Chain A
Amino acid sequence: MSEWKILLVDDESEFVSTLADRLYLRGIHASTANDGEEAIRSVTEEKPDLVVLDIKMPGLSGIEVMKAIKKIDPQLPIILLTGHGSTKEGMEGMKYGAYDYLMKPIDINELILKIQEAIGK
């Protein structure tokens, strides 16, 4: 678990940084990105084991970022964070190849479980 590298992508910087801290306390390395471009750069350079991606961001949308990441590394598992009451966007994300989705605000234990599932594969 301590070898895992996670990339967290969300435009709310406080959210991702706090979440990264919490994951670190649990032994998971997490780097952050605040927009789609940063995220793509990060994926190319740092080659994380998994990406946690917010679906609704200004600039490149979550779906677009996901498509771009898939191009770089098709095997890279992506967990989407949706903020919507309906699961429509989550389902749509799954269509484009997301591993799973979680609704904000997330439960950190649930997140870790999903990460374990995804990377463990």
Chain B
Amino acid sequence: MANPDLEATAFVGKITAGVTHELQNVLAIIKESSGLMDDLMAFSEEIPAKLKDRFHQANRSIDNQVLRGVQLLRNLNGLAHSTDDSMIDIDLFETIKQLIELTHRFAKTRQITLSVEKPGTQIQIQSSCIQFQMAMFHAFECCMTALLPNGNIVISLKKISETVLIILHCDGKFKSEAKLDDAANISNWVVMTKMLILLGGTAEMNPVKDNLVLSLSDK
């Protein structure tokens, strides 16, 4: 399988990894500082209980936000590190789930929900993680650009002998009252198919079922 030159992308990945590392450190500092304040509160006898309570709440809140940040960074870090991976085993469900979380904002601004159904048995493919994620990202965009707000995209995974199918079912109204294939953004489609070809896969639109189907071999 072609392993395209990823120098530039790997570099970006490196940069991103550096950034996430730093951000993790920052979150750690915030967490410890907040924690220490809580500790000191607990030990202090002179601070009135009411005040202690408010502080405690504030720190609790900070803790939650830190957790939120940690989760975000975990996803971004995964993405950053996947740029230097070559062929690895990719768990489709987990990877797609992670990607959905990462791109949550993109879906949110369009008021579209993305979800992935867990398959009965684990489905894996052997591929380049970054390329796969890129292809999936563009597949998301392809569908999202076609749908009007309040739409849903439900992703299901199927394995038929040596072929893996990723079905993006678009539920909702399409732009200009068109069908999926007319409403979808051409440039996303083009980039996605190109990436898929490099992965040895294909894409097909089924305007009748409102599906975008990606098929890959599990190699």
**Residues of chain A whose beta carbon lies under 8 Å from any beta carbon of chain B:** 12, 14-15, 18-19, 21-22, 25-26, 56, 83-86, 104-106, 108
Write the nearest CB–CB distance from A11 to chain B, whole angstroms: 8
Main secondary structure of the interface of B (DSSP, over half): helix
Task: Specify which chain B residues have a CB less than 8 angstroms from the CB of A22 in the assembled complex.
Answer: 32, 35-36, 39
Write the chain A residue with the least CB distance to B39.
Answer: A25
**A56 and B21 alpha carbons, distance in the complex (Å):** 9
Task: Specify which chain A residues have a CB less than 8 angstroms from the CB of B21 in the assembled complex.
Answer: 56, 83-84
Within 8 A of A (CB), among B146-170: none
**A86 and B43 alpha carbons, distance in the complex (Å):** 37
* A14 lies within 8 A of B36 (CB): no
**Lowest 4 CB-CB distances: which A-B pairs, in order?**
A85-B77, A105-B28, A18-B32, A105-B31
* B73 lies within 8 A of A15 (CB): no
Contact flag A105-B81 (CB < 8 Å), given A15-B32, A25-B39: no
Instruction: Choose among A12, A21, A108 the residue that contacts B25 (Cβ–Cβ < 8 A).
Output: A12
Within 8 A of A (CB), among B70-92: 70, 73-75, 77-78, 81
Write the nearest CB–CB distance from B88 to chain A, whole angstroms: 11
Task: Specify which chain B residues have a CB less than 8 angstroms from the CB of A83 in the assembled complex.
Answer: 20-21, 24-25
Write the chain B residue with the least CB distance to A13.
Answer: B29
Task: Specify which chain A residues have a CB less than 8 angstroms from the CB of B70 in the assembled complex.
Answer: 105
Q: Does B183 reach chain A (CB closer than 8 Å)?
A: no
